[in-house]
Chains A and B, each alone.
Chain A
Amino acid sequence: MNGQEHEIAVVCFAGLRKFFDAETSTKVSVPCTYLDLLNQLGQEKPEAEKILRNCRIAIDEAFVPTNSPLDPAKKVFLIPPSSGG
């Protein structure tokens, strides 16, 4: 079944900004998961694949599993591995 293409707003932090703007967007075919979105971004920027593989996904200031269904209406925050302290 072919999905519908949606433009997804994506916010990037820290090391991700070596590869993407702080606020970017990409098109994905919905239904899909956040993992599919990460894979899509990895295809656009293969050099970012390593960090994308280690990112968590935050929606509305809460983490969601990468294999959960993507909500095209929500801005996606890509959270690279923490390195505070």
Chain B
Amino acid sequence: MTFMDLITEKDINIQELFDQSHGEFSGAVVLFSGEVRSRNKGREVLHLEYEAYKPMAEKMIQEILKETKEKWELNTAFCVHRTGRVDISGCAVVVITASAHRAQAYQANQHIINRVKNEVPIWKHEFFADGTSEWGDNCDCHKHQPI
């Protein structure tokens, strides 16, 4: 198996990761792709730029994947996050989980992305059509923001 960096400035090769996720003991493979949308909080977004404290972020993602893999008895757990510029509809983060049955794969996948968003030192910088830009503040994944 080949490993991509967990934090990468390059486009994430989703197909390559997905191809590595199958296995004879896995009846379910769940793939989540976090992508850049053109509106956020009522404003038009042009693109995002991500920054990370890379050595620490990679270490934390590895630990999250290890813990999650053990807890949900996964056969596969991948997570790769972008840094640098990501355009609209571009992939900012991918999480893949594979397990014998779908419940574990779904639950574990959501657990991984929630922890990555909340805990790992990665930051989003949003660039808007009105010429302004903002650093994202704390994870808003549990709120229902207007889009």
Contact = CB atoms under 8 A, between A and B. Distances in A.
Interface of A: 13-15, 18, 54, 58, 61-62, 77, 79-85
Contacts of B113: 85
Interface stretch (B18-26, B65-73, B122-130): B122-130
A5 to B, nearest CB: 28
Interface string B77-120: 00001000000000011000000000000000000010011111
Main secondary structure of the interface of A (DSSP, over half): loop
How many chain B residues sit at the interface, stated as a range, is 20 to 34
B59 A61 contact: yes
Contact of A82 (B93, B123, B125): B123
B135 A15 contact: yes
Nearest to B32: A85
Interface in B26-77: 34, 50-53, 55-57, 59
Contacts of B124: 83-85
A82 B138 contact: yes
A83 B122 contact: yes
A45 B14 CA distance: 43
Contacts of B59: 61
B131 to A, nearest CB: 16
B123 A80 contact: yes
Nearest to A54: B138
A58 B57 CA distance: 11
Given A83-B138, A84-B139, 9 more contacts: A13-B121, A18-B135, A58-B53, A61-B55, A80-B123, A81-B138, A82-B122, A82-B139, A84-B57
